[in-house]
Structure 1
Amino acid sequence: MGSKIKDEHRQGAMKKIKELADAADICLFATNLSEIPISARPMSRQKIDDDGTLWFFSEVSSHKNAHIQQDNRVQLFFSNTGNQEYLSIYGTAEIVRDVAKAKELWSPIAKTWFNEGPEDPTLTIIKVTPEDGYYWDTKDGKLISLIKMAAGAITGKEIDGSLEGKLKP
């Protein structure tokens, strides 16, 4: 199945990042990018702003916080397999200690990790500012894409069924 390349810049890129990251709550959050192997772990996104900024909760003494303090470059990988949407974001991370922001981002599930709520002394917030990205998306959703693939297999014709492109906020 062929892909159509559609790069997005500025507002279009931020809108696409928000759309795809909103659809996939959990990402693979990679730090220590200059080392082999990199360090990656699944993390749930707390919020994504209209400008593409992503917010995560993290424990103050975590390995990821230590990595970010040494090298603030991060790579995030989102996957929404239900709709065949994928997103890779490269950006910079900043560790924030802000009770008001923690209250804004708070959800009851976070109490699993931070027993004292938004005021938990072990709670930090990671703010990720995207600098670059890449996405893969289906034009028509999973069911239609599967039908198109089957039609392409039967007819032997390449089907244009997906979009992909660079994202430059």
Structure 2
Amino acid sequence: MFRAVASVVAVAMLAGCAGAPEGPIRNAGVPITSLALYDPARMAGDWHLVAAYGEEVACGPVTERWTPRGDGTLAVSGTACRGASRVSLDTVALPSGPGRFERRGVSGRETLWVLWADADDRVAVIGTPDGGFGRILSREPALRPDLMQAARQVLDFNGYDLARLRFPAL
């Protein structure tokens, strides 16, 4: 069992090193929806980036802390990637609709949609309506294989190209 899990992790890490195919990361013809009954307070706490599209994984593992504020927004702090460099992240996420947030990220204004979160909030899949952004967040640095598979299925269902999904180098 351990060898099987180790093999899956090794393949995933190697896939993260491969050159990215050209083209969009999401099929714009596939409808995308946010989690309608998602309470923004569920984002509170620490989240580890375990998979994403683009350069977001280029500098290795990063973590964000989401902290509720009295005005209904959430402070977001931690580290992020800008190219292959780690940078400080210190911003505010404003709930903007069911399962939706607006925030200023490393590359400017971001519209984040929670596409799925498991019932125990161990994993969250985040995407954007324009398909320019997608990520899998986990409460733990390493996500259980069954939860990773479920998160990948959500991305696939929402039109994301799984071949373009990358994993941070450890």
Per the TM superposition, whether the score is higher than 0.5 is: no
Q: Looking at secondary structure, tell me which structure has more helix per residue.
A: 1
Determine which structure has more spread, i.e. the larger CA radius of gyration: 1
Question: TM-score, normalised to structure 2's length?
Answer: 0.24
TM-score by length of 1: 0.25
